[in-house]
Chains A and B, each alone.
Chain A
Amino acid sequence: MNPVLELQKIHKEFPGIVANDQIDLTLNRGEIHTILGENGAGKSTLMNIISGLYIPDSGSMFLEGKPLHLKNPAQAIAKGVGMVHQHFMLIPNHSVSENIILGTPQAFRLQKSKVRQQIEELGRRYGLEFNPDLRVQDLSVGEQQKVEILKVLFRGAKILILDEPTAVLTPQESEALYKILRQMKKDGQSILFISHKMREVIELSDRITVLRHGKVKATRNRGETSPSELARLMMGESTIQTGEVQTKTSKASSDQSQNKTIVRLKNAGLRHELGHWLLQNINLEVRAGQIVGLAGVAGSGQAPLAEVLVGLRGLDTGEYQFAGEEQKGASVSELIHKGVGYIPEDRKRYGIAPHLEVAENFLLRDLHNNRFQSRGWLQRDKVTAFGRDRMRAFDVRAASERTPIGQLSGGNMQKVILARETSRPLKFLLAAQPVRGLDIHATAFLQNQLLQARADGLAILLISEDLEELLLMSDYLYVISRGSIVGEMPKEEAEIEKIGLLMTGERA
C-alpha cells in the first residue's frame, strides 16, 4: 500500500450542522476510491476541503506523507490535487487548448505548438484525443468533460477528484469515461470518485467509502460488498424497501390505450429567436391515467418542449391539443385553468418565490382560487391554514408555514411544489426532473405521489435524464434528441442499451 493522500480526523462544521465529523480516509497510488453517500452526507464538503475551497476546523491532511495545509484552490492545484467539477468550468467560445492552459503559468508569448504537442501526448496516453483548436461550445457534454479531465492532467495532477461525473452522460459516454479512468489508474494516477449511483460504483472502484450524516460509515474493498449492503450503509437501517415503488408500478391499469388522450402534439415545431429549430416534428401523446416518460440527454429540447406544454411559448408549426382542443396561443394562466400542473426542472428558478412564506408559495399558479381570495382581497388566515394543512399532508419539514420557502431543503421545496400542483383539479401534470437532487426518502415519497396521481386518472409526462427512474415509473417512453423525437416504445420493450443509443442521436 502506498498512500498518496491521507486524511486524519477531518472535521468541518457550519452553523447548526456538522458537515464532516472526524473523517479518516486514505487514497492509495493507482487506485479508484469512491466516496458514496446521499445528498447532504458531506461528500461535497469533504471534496471542497481536499481541493482547498474550505479550510477544515480541525484534523490534518498528508500528501505523500508530508503535511498538507491548503488555504485556497490555487495551492491545491499547485500541489497536484485536481478537481473535475460537476458543472464544467470551461469558457465556451475559447478553444480546447486555450481552456486547458487557462490559469497555468505560461511564457508571456504563448507557445501554442508546444502546448498542442503536450495536449496531444496526454490525450494519446489516456484516449482523450481532441483537435485542440476546436471551440468548447462545439463539443458534446461528454467531450467537454474530457476536456476538464485533460485540463486537470495538464496541470500535473497526482490526485484526480471527479464530482458526480456521470450525472450528465449517456450510458455509452459513461462507459467511455470508465475506460479512461481505468487507463489512468494503470498509469499510476489516484482517483477519488464521488457518486450516489451504486451500480457504477461497484464495477469501477477498488475501494468504496460510505459517508452518512458527515461520518464515515464503512470502507469496503472491491468484491467485498453488495448493492444491498451499500444501500443499508448509505441510508441507515430504516431504509425504505425499494420494492415499494415497484409493486405499485406493476399494478398499472392494463388497458391505457382506451383512456382519453389529454395532451397531443402534432408535428410540433419551435424556432429559436435566431431562426434555428429548437423542436421539430414532435409527435407525442399522453393519456389519462398514464405516465409517459421522456428520455434524453440534458439540453436535447426538453426545456422548450416543457415551455410549450405549459404555455410559456407558442408553437411555430404544428398543433398542441389539450383535452381535444387546439391551444394556439393559449397563455400560462389559461392552461392552468384548464388543468395543467407543472413541476419545473429548475425548481428554484421557476417554482418558488424564495423570500415569500411557504404558505404564500401555495398561491403561485393558483392565485385566483376562491379558497385564497375574495374579490381581489387575499384571505390571509385561509392562506395560512391551507399551507399548514398541505404541509402536514405532504410531510413538509419547516419551522412553520410562515418560514420563507428559500430556507427549506430541496426535497421540502419540491414537496411544496408537488403539493401545490396537485391541490387543484388537474388533467395533466408535467414533471421535469422531479426527484433530481432529492434524498432517497423524498424521492420515494414523490414517486409514490406521482403513481397515486396516475391511479387517480391524471395524465403525467415525466421528463428525466435518469433512465432507471424512467423505466421504473413510465408506462410508455419517448426519446428526444436534438429537438426531435427519435424513438418511442411501450415500457415492456424498453431497454437501457437501446434508449441510450437513441439518446445520442443514433438510430438503434
Chain B
Amino acid sequence: MSVQVTVTVGSIVLALILGSVLLAMVGVNPMEAYPSVGALMFFDQWGWQDLFLKMTPLLLTGLGVAIAAQLNLWNIGAEGQLYLGAIATTWLALEFSESLDAHFMLPILLIGTFVAGGMWAAIPAGLRSWFGVNEIITTLLLNYVAISLADYLLYGAWRDPSTLNFPMTRSFGESSYLPMIGSTTVHWGLPLGILLAVLTWILLRSTTIGFQIRVAGDNLSAADYSGFNTKNLLFIVLVLSGAVAALAGMTEVAGIHHRLQQNFSINYGYTGIIVSRLARNHPIGVIGTAFLLAVIFVGGELLQVEYQLPIAVVYLFEGLLLFTVIGSELFLSYRLRRRVAL
C-alpha cells in the first residue's frame, strides 16, 4: 500500500517535471509559472473554491468508474451517465421546484437522479450479465445517446424562449438549488461525494455483498465456485456505478448552473476514468486523485488566463500524468512478478 502511494506521488512529481519542460518549450518559465499558479489556486478565494467545484463532478464520476472496476468492468459511460443525471435532475426541477420547497425537493433530486442513472446503466449491465455483451462498447455508445438526448430536449421541448434561442432551459426554482457550504460558493455536492466514497469503502470491506464483490473481482471463477451469483453481482455493480456517476450531473446543474445547457460538462465523465485509474480504483483514493485532476483543470485555466496558453496544454498535462502513473504501475507489477517467480 505505502509502496503504491510512494510510486504514485513519485510519478506525479515526474509529470510536473516533464510538464515544466513543456512549459519552457512554449516560452513560459516554469519556475515562475508553477509558484504563481499555485498561489492563485490555493490562496486566492476564487481559486480554491473553483478547485472544489471542479473536484466534485470528478469525484463522483471517478467513484462511479471505480465501483465498476471492482469487478474488472470498464464503465466508459460516466459522461453519458452524467448527462442523463443532469436530464433527470432538470426534469424533476422544472416539474416540481415551483410547488415544493427545498426540504422535499433536494431528496427528490438526489434519489430521482440516482435511480435514473441506475436505470440507464441497467441497459449495459443487463446486456453484460445475461448476454455477455462487452460493457466497454455499450457504455461508450450510450454516451452519444445521452448527449444527443440532452441536445434534443434543449433544442426542442425544454428550450427557454426567453434566452434568445440559446440551447438552454429556463432557470430552476430556488428550491432546487444545492445549498452552499457556509459563505463559500462551494455547494454540498462535494461532501456528498466524499460520503459516498466512504460508504463504498465500508460496503466493500465490511459487508458480505462487498466481500462477494472483492472475491469476484479478484478471481471470478473462484466466486462461481463459492456459489456467489456472479451474474447478479455484475449487474448490481454496474448499475451502482452508473447511479453514482449520474449524481455528477445533478451536482453540476443543481449546484452551479441551475439550468441545463449545452456542453456543461468539460469531459468530467471521461476524466473520471483517469481519476479512478490513478487511484488504482480505490474508492478512498479517488478523493485524492479527483482533487489532483481538479488542480490540473484549474491550473490549466489559470495558465490560459495568465499566460495565454491554449487549452491543448491542459490536455497535454493530463496525458503526461496518465502516462507517468500508468507507466509506474507497469514498474510495480514487474517487481511483483519477480517475487512470484520464486
Question: Which A residues fall within an 8 A CB radius of B?
Answer: 14-17, 310-312, 331-336, 342, 344, 349-356, 360, 363-365, 367-368, 373, 376-378, 380, 406-407
Contact = CB atoms under 8 A, between A and B. Distances in A.
A310 B225 contact: yes
A249 B339 CA distance: 40
Interface centre among B209, B223, B226, B338 (most CB of A within 10 A): B226
Contacts of B225: 310, 312, 332, 342, 344, 350-351, 364-365
B325 to A, nearest CB: 20
B219 interface: yes
Interface centre among B218, B223, B227 (most CB of A within 10 A): B227
B211 to A, nearest CB: 6
A352 B222 CA distance: 6
Contacts of A351: 222, 225
Contacts of B205: 378
B21 to A, nearest CB: 36
A16 B208 CA distance: 37
Interface centre among B222, B224, B341 (most CB of A within 10 A): B222
A15 B342 CA distance: 7
A-B complex: 3 closest residue pairs judged by Cβ atoms: A333-B227, A332-B227, A353-B218
B342 A332 contact: no
A376 B207 contact: yes
Q: Is the interface of B mostly helix, strand, loop or mixed?
A: helix
B341 A14 contact: yes
B222 A350 contact: yes
Nearest to A331: B227
Contacts of B223: 353
Contacts of A331: 227, 229
B212 interface: yes
A353 B340 CA distance: 15
B206 to A, nearest CB: 5
A378 B208 contact: yes
A85 B228 CA distance: 37
A505 B193 CA distance: 64
Contacts of B170: none
Given A350-B224, A378-B206, A378-B210, 18 more contacts: A15-B339, A17-B342, A310-B225, A311-B227, A332-B224, A332-B226, A332-B227, A333-B229, A349-B222, A351-B222, A351-B225, A352-B219, A354-B218, A356-B215, A367-B208, A367-B212, A377-B207, A377-B208
Contacts of A310: 225
Nearest to A14: B342
Interface string B191-208: 000000000000001111
B221 interface: yes
A426 B215 CA distance: 23
A364 B222 contact: yes
B227 A336 contact: yes
Contact of B209 (A16, A342, A363, A376): A376
A364 B208 contact: no
Contacts of B212: 367
12 contacts: A311-B227, A334-B227, A336-B226, A350-B224, A352-B222, A356-B214, A360-B211, A364-B222, A365-B226, A365-B227, A378-B211, A406-B340
Contacts of A353: 214-215, 218-219, 222-223
A350 B208 CA distance: 19
A365 B211 CA distance: 12
Contacts of B229: 331, 333
Interface in B48-80: none
A15 B338 contact: yes
B103 to A, nearest CB: 31
Contacts of A342: 225
Contacts of B210: 378
Interface in B307-342: 338-342
Nearest to B342: A14
Contacts of A14: 341-342
B323 to A, nearest CB: 26
Contacts of B208: 367-368, 373, 376-378
Interface centre among A356, A364, A377, A378 (most CB of B within 10 A): A364
A142 B222 CA distance: 31
Nearest to A420: B226
Contacts of A363: 211
Interface centre among B207, B211, B221 (most CB of A within 10 A): B211
A306 to B, nearest CB: 10
B70 to A, nearest CB: 12
Contacts of B339: 15, 407
B280 to A, nearest CB: 12
A378 B219 contact: no
B199 to A, nearest CB: 14
Contacts of B224: 312, 332, 350
A367 B226 contact: yes
Contact of A377 (B206, B221, B222): B206
Contacts of A349: 219, 221-222
